[in-house]
Structure 1
Amino acid sequence: MGFDLSWLLIALPLVFGLGWLASKLDTRQWKREQRDAPKAYFKGLNLLLNEQQDKAIDAFIEAVQADPDTSELHFALGNLFRRRGEYERAVRVHQHLLQRGDLPKAERERAQYALAQDFYKAGLFDRAEEAFAVLRGSSFESEAELALLSLYERSREWRKAAEVAKHLEQVGTGSFASRIAHYLCELALEAQARNQEGDVDKAQALLAEARKVAPQAARAHVLAGQLLMRREQPQQAMAAYAELLAANPEAFNLVASDYASAALACDAAPAALQTLQAQYQRHPGMHLLQAIAKLEPAASAQRQRLLAHLRQDPSLSAARQLLAQSGAQLSDEETTLLGSAIERAGRPLQRYRCAACGFEAQHYFWQCPGCLNWDSYPPRHVEEL
C-alpha cells in the first residue's frame, strides 16, 4: 500500500500552525511574568524609600517568587534582612544563591561576600572568618581582607591582624604602618601581663619593632618608656621619651610628667627642665606646666607660670591651680569651696575627645571605644583644643 502524499500536504500546515500557536502562548506568558516581576520589584523599592521595610520585604518576596532565577532580587532581599537584624533569614537567602548551579562566577563571589557579611554582623566570627577566607584570589579579596582586619581587631587576635595588614600593604591597598604598630603594642602588653620569664624582653623587642615600623607613631615610644621605668632604668626611659619628642612633639604631652619623674630618678633635672620649657614655648599646655612644676616646685615660680599661662590661655584648670597656690589670702573654707566649684565646672573640659565621632573619655585611648578608629584622640584635653 503506497503512501498518500496528500496527507503530507495537509499535516505540514497543521503542525506549523500548532507550533506558531504554542510560541504565542509562551511569549504571552513570558511577557506577563516579566511585567509582573518588575512591578513587584518597583513596589518594594518604593516602600523601601519610604522606610516601610516590612512591606518592602513582602514585595521583594513576591517578586522573588514570580522570578526565582533573578539574583538581584535575592541580593536586595538578603541585604534588607541583614539591615533589619534578621541575620538567619539573610543567611538562608545568600546560601540559596550559592546553591544555584547556573550562577555566574562574579555573582557567586558576590553572594559569598554577602554571606560572610551576614555572619560578621550576627557575631558569628568563626563562620565569618571561614567565609571571608574563601574569597582570597577573588574580585572581593581586598574587601574581604579589610573585613577580616576589623574582625581580628574586635576579637583581639593581634597577630593575625598584623599579618593581614602587612598583606594589604604589599598588594597596594594603602598604608597600614600605624595600625601594625598598634598591633605590636597590644602583643607587647599581653606579654607584660603574662609576667613570665622572658616575657618582658619579648615585650621590649615587640615595642622596638613597632617603633621601626612606624617611627612617627607615639604609642610604642610611650609604652617603651613606661616599661623601662618599671625596670628601674630611668635614663633609658628618658631616651625613649626624647625619641617621642623628636618624632611626635604634640604627643609628648602624654608623657611630660613621666619624663620629669624619670629625670628626677637619674639626677637629670636641669637638662630635663630646659627641654620641657623649650617644648612649652612651642606648644603651651597644662601637661607641660605640671611636669615643669615637678622639676621646679617653688611656689612663687609656679604662680608666675600659671599667671602667664592664664594670660595666654584662660583655662579653668590653670585657674584652679593658681587658686590653690594663692589660698593664703583666703580662709581655708573659702579656698576649698572656690576650688571645688572651679573643679566641678572644669571637669567636663578635662576630657579627651575623639576627632572622628566625638566620644569623650577621662582617660586617653589609642583606639576610640565608640567608633573603633585608631589615633583619633588629640593628645590634649577638650579645654585646650
Structure 2
Amino acid sequence: MEFDFTWILLGLPIAFALGWIASRLDLRQMRLANRQAPRAYFKGLNYLLNEQQDQAIDAFIEAVQNDPDTSELHFALGNLFRRRGEYDRAVRVHEHLLSRADLSNADRQRAQHDLALDYLKAGLLDRAEEALRKLEGTTYEGQARMARMAIYERSREWPEATTVARLLEKTGEVDFSVRMAHYQCEQAREWVQKGDHVGAVALLNTTLQAHPQAARPRLLLGQLLLSQGQSRAAFDTLAVLFERHDKAAPLAAASLVKAAKACDMETQASRMLEAHYQAAPCIDVLNAITDVLLSRASTHSAAQSEALDRYLGHLQKHTSLMAASRWLTGERPGQASLPESVQKALEHATKPLAKYRCAACGFEAKEHFWHCPGCQAWDSYPPKRVEEL
C-alpha cells in the first residue's frame, strides 16, 4: 500500500497550531499565578497592618501555595503562627524550611533561630536548648547564648549558666561578673539545703575572692557562718558591708547584731550602724540600733525610753508609719500598753509597707529577692521597704 504524504503535510500545521495554543495557555497560567502571589502577599500584609492576624494567615497560606519556593513568605507565616500561640504549626513551617536543599546559608541560620524561638515559646526547653546549640559560630551566636543562659536560669542549672556567661563575657561587650556571682550564690544555697555547709562556705569564699565588691555572697557567707556558731567570723564578714556603706547593708543589719551579741562586739556594731544610719537613714538599720541599745543598757526602762526617742527622732525627719507603730507600741514605764485591738490594727496597716517591691515589674514580697520571681530580673529589688521607696 502506498503511503500518502498528504496527511503529513496537513498534520504539521495542525500540530504547530496546537503547540502554540498550549504554550499560550501555559504563559497565561504563569502570568495569572504571578499576579495572584503578589496580590495574596499584599493582602496578607494589609491584614497584618490592621492587626487582623487570622485573615493575614489565610492570605499568606494562599501566597505560599501559589509560590511554595518563597522563603520570606514561610518566615512571615511561621512568625505569625508563633505570635498567635500556634507553636506546632510554627515548628512545622520552620522545619520545612530547614529541610529545603536550596535554602541559602543565611536563611538556614534564620530558620534555625526561629525554630529555637518556637520551642522556647512553647516551653520545650530541652528542644530549644538543642536548637540553640546549633547556632554556635553563626551570626545568631550571641542571641542564642543569651537564650540558653535564660533557659539554665529557669531550670536552675547554675554551673551551665556560669559557663555560658563566661563565653558571653569573653566577647567584651557585656560584664557578667555580678550575674555569675549570683549563680554561685544560688548554687551555695542549694548545697546548704542538701546539708553540705562546708562546700557552700568554700564556694562563697571563692566567689568573694573573684568578686570582692559583690554584696550577696558576703551577706550569705556571714549568715551561714553565724548559723554554724562562727560569730566572730560572721561579724567580720558582714561588717565590711557597713564599712564601705554598701546599699545592701540594711539587709545584713539584723544578722550583724546577732553576731555582735554572740561575740561581745556590740560597741563596734553600734558604731557601724550609727555611721550607716547617718549616711542613709533606714528603718531596718534603726531597728538594729535600738536592738543593740536594749541589749547593752543597764536598766531596761531607760533603754526603752531612749529607743522610743530614737523612733520619734526618725519621725521628725521622715514620714514613717512603721516607725510610728514602733513608737506607739513601745513599752513606757508607768503607762498602760495599747489595747490589743489597736496593736493588731497597727500591725495590719504596716504589713504591706514592710514588703519589698521589684523595680522592674512591681512584684511585692515579704522577703528581699535577688532574682525576681515575677519578671526574672536580677538585682531589681531595692534593699529598702516599700514605705521607704
Paired letter, 1:301: E
1:146 aligns with 2:183: no
Is the partner of 1:370 in helix, strand or coil? coil
Paired letter, 2:352: P
Residue aligning to 1:346: 350
Matched residues in 2 for 1:329 and 1:43: separation? 85
Is the partner of 1:249 in helix, strand or coil? coil
Is the partner of 2:101 in helix, strand or coil? coil
Paired letter, 1:380: K
Matched residues in 1 for 2:216 and 2:143: separation? 28
Is the partner of 2:384 in helix, strand or coil? coil
Residue aligning to 1:72: 72
Q: 1:267 to 1:72 in 2, by over 3 A?
A: same
Q: 21-30 vs 112-121, which deviates more?
A: 21-30
Matched residues in 1 for 2:216 and 2:200: separation? 13
Q: 215-224 vs 131-140, which deviates more?
A: 215-224
For the 8 Å contact 2:245–2:276, the answer to whether it is kept is no
For the 8 Å contact 1:184–1:209, the answer to whether it is kept is no
Q: 108-117 vs 171-180, which deviates more?
A: 171-180
Is the partner of 2:351 in helix, strand or coil? helix
Q: Deviations over 1:186-243 (max 9, x none)?
A: 1111221221xxx322211211222233333221011100111112111111111122
1:337 aligns with 2:334: no
Residue aligning to 1:324: 329
Residue aligning to 1:355: 359
Residue aligning to 2:320: 315
1:205 aligns with 2:202: yes
For the 8 Å contact 1:353–1:382, the answer to whether it is kept is yes
Matched residues in 2 for 1:234 and 1:377: separation? 28
What TM-score, normalized to structure 1?
Answer: 0.89
Residue aligning to 1:289: 286
Q: 1:364 to 1:235 in 2, by over 3 A?
A: same
CA apart distance, 1:84: 1.6
Q: 1:19 to 1:107 in 2, by over 3 A?
A: farther
> Which of 246, 252, 256 is residue 255 of structure 1 equivalent to?
252
Residue aligning to 1:8: none
CA apart distance, 1:27: 5.7
For the 8 Å contact 2:304–2:332, the answer to whether it is kept is no
Matched residues in 1 for 2:332 and 2:59: separation? 74
1:305 aligns with 2:310: yes
Residue aligning to 1:124: 124
CA apart distance, 1:120: 1.5
CA apart distance, 1:28: 5.0
Paired letter, 1:363: E
Q: Deviations over 1:300-353 (max 9, x none)?
A: 110110011001112110010000126668754x54333322322222221111
Residue aligning to 1:368: 372
What TM-score, normalized to structure 2?
Answer: 0.89
Is the partner of 1:375 in helix, strand or coil? coil
Matched residues in 1 for 2:334 and 2:20: separation? 110
Matched residues in 2 for 1:216 and 1:18: separation? 87
Q: 1:329 to 1:320 in 2, by over 3 A?
A: farther
Q: 25-34 vs 180-189, which deviates more?
A: 25-34
Paired letter, 1:377: Y
Counting matched residue pairs gives: 368
Is the partner of 1:368 in helix, strand or coil? coil
Q: Percent identity?
A: 52
Paired letter, 2:351: R
Matched residues in 2 for 1:122 and 1:245: separation? 46
Q: Deviations over 1:226-277 (max 9, x none)?
A: 1111121111111111222345621000010110110010001111111101
CA apart distance, 1:18: 10
For the 8 Å contact 1:142–1:173, the answer to whether it is kept is no
For the 8 Å contact 1:316–1:343, the answer to whether it is kept is no
In structure 1, stretches of 5+ residues that fail to align are 1-10
Is the partner of 2:57 in helix, strand or coil? helix
Paired letter, 1:270: T
Residue aligning to 2:381: 377
Q: Deviations over 1:122-161 (max 9, x none)?
A: 1211111111111101111111100000001111111000
1:219 aligns with 2:216: yes
Residue aligning to 1:3: none
Residue aligning to 1:5: none
Q: 1:327 to 1:19 in 2, by over 3 A?
A: farther
Q: Pairwise CA RMSD of aligned residues?
A: 2.2
